[in-house]
Structure 1
């Protein structure tokens, strides 16, 4: 959600009309990609993860060509090349630097070794996606510097950003994983409370994300408390740590299975 507050990087989603197709399919694709590339020993050539990376790289190439066909709609001076290397690095930063920052805010402890591993993993994924290797940050300091300089070329959220944000919130109601409307509304309210917890007030207001009631505003604090208790139980030794990793893997794959099952089948790129 926070990425939508950078106006220019979201323009390819608008120009390729991904907004009109809703957010359910985009979330499913992102979730499928993330889960497969982050598993142990996932990135062997011709593996499922490797195929997803190649597919994403081809989709980026195709999108660039289609956007360039709409020259009169693309502001090259402000936005640069469609899906350019620096925008891709900023996205990479979202999966590494920003991802870990969000986890820490939710009470998750991340060791120096784990942080190093996350940056190393995503540098290799970025390389496979076609980002020049020498531009990819290897650690927190480099990532912060890259991200800071990139933000100086971005405008804050605009009308397109707001539409994308609202489509992402609407995904809670459009998704049929939960059977009853009241369950979907509850999920939407919980996600809105997380947005207000993780993002600055100004960002939430620009993206027109409704402020949660006091009851829902307490939800992130409950999550933080639960994470801290969970870690005390499962981070006592290597065996318990591995058990926690296995539990997380199972839960994440179950969510992906639900998304695959409930994503519209008549969607075409």
Structure 2
């Protein structure tokens, strides 16, 4: 959600209209990609994760060509090439650096070794997606510096950014994983509460994210407390640590299975 506050990088999403057309489908695609590429030994040639990366690379190429073909007034001086290398690096910094920052805010302790591993994984994924390896950061200081300089060529969120944010929240009400409307409304409030907890106030205002019902503001605090307790219980020895990894893997795969089952089957790009 926070990435929508950068107006220029959001232009391809606004122009293609994909997120507004089917946020459920786009979230399913992103979740499927993330789950598969982050499993152990996932990135062997011709594995399912490897094929998803190739598919994403082809989709980026197709979107880039179509945007250039269909948008004669594309502002290259401001926005660069559609889906350019630097924007791609910033996106995958979101999957590594920003991802870990969010986890730490939610009470997760990340070791130096784990941080190095996450950055290395996404450097390789970025390379497979077509970003030259020499452009990708190797460590936190490099990632922070690069992300900082990238923000200097961006502008704050605009009307298009707010529309994308609205569509992403609307996905909670459109998704059929939960049968009853009251369940979907509860999920919407939970996601609003997480955005209000994780994002700065000025970003919340620019993206026009409504404030959740008061009772739901407690949800992020409960998550933080739960994470702290789970780590005390399960991180005492390697065997328990592995059990926690297996629990997380099962939960993530269950969410993915639900999204695959409930994504509209007749959607076409």
TM range (shorter): over 0.9
Shift of residue 77 of structure 1? 1.3
> In the TM superposition, what is the alpha-carbon distance from 1:183 to its structure 2 partner?
0.3
Cα distance in structure 2, aligned partners of 1:20 and 1:133:
33
Q: How does 1:53-132 map to 2 (within 5 A)?
A: 53-132=53-132
Report the Cα distance in structure 1 between the residues aligned to 2:56 and 2:26, rounded to whole angstroms.
Answer: 12
**Superposition deviation, residue 107 in structure 1:** 0.1
Counterpart of 2:26 in structure 1 is: 26
Structure 2 unpaired stretches of 5+: none
Shift of 1:154: 0.4
SS of residue paired to 1:161: helix
- Residue in 2 aligned with 1:149? 149
Take 2:42 and 2:71, find their aligned partners in 1: how far apart are those partners? Answer: 39
Aligned pair 1:177/2:167, yes or no?
no
The aligned residue for residue 44 of structure 1 is 44
Q: Distance in 2 between matches of 1:223 and 1:248?
A: 14
In 2, the alpha carbon distance for the partners of 1:241 and 1:86 equals 36
Distance 2:19 2:198 in 1: 24
Structure 2 Cα separation of the partners of residues 71 and 53 of structure 1? 26
Find the aligned partners of 1:77 and 1:49 in 2 and give their Cα distance.
35
Match of 1:226 in 2: 226
Residue in structure 2 matched with residue 250 of structure 1 by the alignment: 250
1:192-223: CA deviations, max 9, x gaps? 00000000000001100011233111110010
Give CA deviations for 1:32-61 in whole Å, capped at 9, x if unaligned: 000000000000000000000000000000
Does the CA-based 8 Å contact 2:19-2:26 persist in structure 1? no
Equivalent pairs counted in the alignment come to 269
What is the alpha-carbon distance in structure 2 between the residues aligned to residue 73 and residue 249 of structure 1?
45
TM-score (normalizing by structure 1): 0.99
User: Deviation at 1:95?
Assistant: 0.2
RMSD of aligned residue pairs (Cα, Å): 0.8
Report the Cα offset of residue 9 of structure 1: 0.4
Name segments (4+ residues, structure 1) moved above 3 Å.
none
Instruction: Supply the distance in 2 between the matched residues of 1:58 and 1:76 (Cα, whole angstroms).
Output: 22
Which residue is equivalent to 1:4?
Answer: 4
Which structure 1 residue ranges, 5 or more long, are not aligned?
none
Work out the CA distance in 1 between the residues paired with 2:37 and 2:19. 25
Q: How much has 1:20 moved relative to structure 2?
A: 3.5
